[in-house]
Amino acid sequence: MAIKRRYFVKQQEITRWMVTGMFTIMLSLSGWCADQAPAEKRSAKPAPPALPKATLEEIAYGKHPKQVLTFWKAESNEPTPLVFYIHGGGWIAGNRTFLGGAFLQKLLKNGISVISIEYRFIPEATADKIVPPVKGPLTDAARALQFVRSKATEWNIDEKRIGACGNSAGACSSLWLAFHPDLADPTSSDPVQRKSTRLWCVAVEVPQTTLDPQQMKEWTPNSRYGGHAFGFTGNKQKHQSSFDEFLANRKKIMPWIAEYSPYALLSADDPPVYLHYVTPPALGQDQKDPTHTANFGVKLQERCKELGVDCELVYPGAPSVKHATPVAYLIEKLKDPNQP
């Protein structure tokens, strides 16, 4: 069943992913900052604030050079809640500075510490012979979370109140952590591995909520993302793109989809979720940016309602919005010592 092939993606496909994805990420970064002025009043605003000086930098949570994190500690006499940030970039680009200075400052001022992680990209996971490649960035995130919990006393963190967030692929990783059964191994000789991977809440921007190509096509017909996560690079002889090959091999990789697609992992005991998109949904219709469409959010929210999981979905014109931005949601949820 396992498909092992050298990672290769056509340059045109990488360019398309990156231009679309990175542009959307830049747009969505505004959502991390609370109390934004309307667009017409922002044109003359100065450059966004720089990142505050980190408390700790380049802290290794694993042996690979990419397995490092940065920590910003909120001033407090009591253990603080924590935001665990996973950057976006399609699992092939980006870095831990993507979180934005205004977002970070707002959290620190509200007594919430912040961690931002690096992780192995798809090519690096492939080089490490990880199958499927997406297992690399996802399990790196889980390991980083366990490592942070192992430092809870030293870093003055409330290891129970940890909320994950991120953009695009980082948002997908955050949802995977939120919905996956606990990866803690209480019998491990490694004290880090004994720590929980469960979360208090999750607030994300433009996430892909499924890695099932059939669901993607049903929700958004011109979907084209995700094949690279499972090692598909396209088939020139059959004139297939990486997504076409992904869809054609769906049945063969259903165990992988069941393990790594957030939608497939969702269960009734999962933490509350906040989803933020920059354009309104249009289910069953082609989208200008199918990789970051709010169609993903609509379908996940439907599933959450079926299972009784709290899910707030925000997009232009969305009904019943309680929190205009992810940072507002995180502050409210993480500052509440009761169950979210």
Per-residue pLDDT of 259-312, as tens digits, reads 999 999 999 999 999 999 999 999 999 999 999 999 999 999 999 999 999 999
* Torsion, Cα of 128, 131, 133, 136 (10° steps): -60
Structure tokens at 42: 């922002």
Grade residue 27 by pLDDT with cuts at 50, 70 and 90.
very low
pLDDT at 338: 79
pLDDT above 70: residue 44: no
pLDDT above 60: residue 15: no
Grade residue 331 by pLDDT with cuts at 50, 70 and 90.
very high
Break the chain into its structural domains and give their ranges: 11-33+52-335
Query: Nearest CA to 31 among 205, 275, 174?
Result: 205
Who's near 61: CB < 8 A, 6+ residues apart? 67, 68, 69, 117, 143, 144, 147, 148, 192
Q: How many Cβ atoms are within 10 Å of 69's Cβ, its own excluded?
A: 24
pLDDT at 72: 98
**Cβ pair 157, 80 in contact under 8 A:** yes
pLDDT at 237: 86
Bridging pattern class, strands 56-60 and 273-276? unpaired
**Cβ pair 176, 138 in contact under 8 A:** yes
Of the ranges 22-26, 175-179, 197-201, 316-320, which one carries the lowest mean pLDDT score?
A: 22-26
Q: Which CATH architecture has domain 11-33+52-335?
A: 3-Layer(aba) Sandwich (3.40)
Which amino acid appears at position 184 of this protein? Answer: A
Average pLDDT, rounded, for the chain: 89
pLDDT at 5: 41
Grade residue 246 by pLDDT with cuts at 50, 70 and 90.
very high
pLDDT at 263: 98
**Cβ pair 83, 114 in contact under 8 A:** yes
pLDDT at 295: 98
pLDDT above 70: residue 38: no
pLDDT at 138: 98
Grade residue 122 by pLDDT with cuts at 50, 70 and 90.
very high
Structure tokens at 34: 């609370």
pLDDT above 60: residue 10: no
Taking only the tens place, the pLDDT of each residue in 136-150 is: 999 999 999 999 999
Work out the average pLDDT over 138-167. Answer: 98
Query: What is the DSSP secondary-structure string of 222-278?
Result: T----GGGGT---BTTTTB-HHHHHHHTGGGGHHHHHHH-HHHH--TTPPPEEEE-S
**What is the CA 265 to chain-centroid distance, rounded?**
15
**Cβ pair 88, 24 in contact under 8 A:** no
Of residues 297 and 240, more confidently modeled: 297
Structure tokens at 221: 């017909």
| Top-confidence range, 2-11, 39-48, 264-273 | 264-273
Taking only the tens place, the pLDDT of each residue in 55-111 is: 999 999 999 999 999 999 999 999 999 999 999 999 999 999 888 899 999 999 999
pLDDT at 50: 86
Work out the average pLDDT over 310-315. Answer: 98
**Cβ pair 170, 304 in contact under 8 A:** no
pTM: 0.89
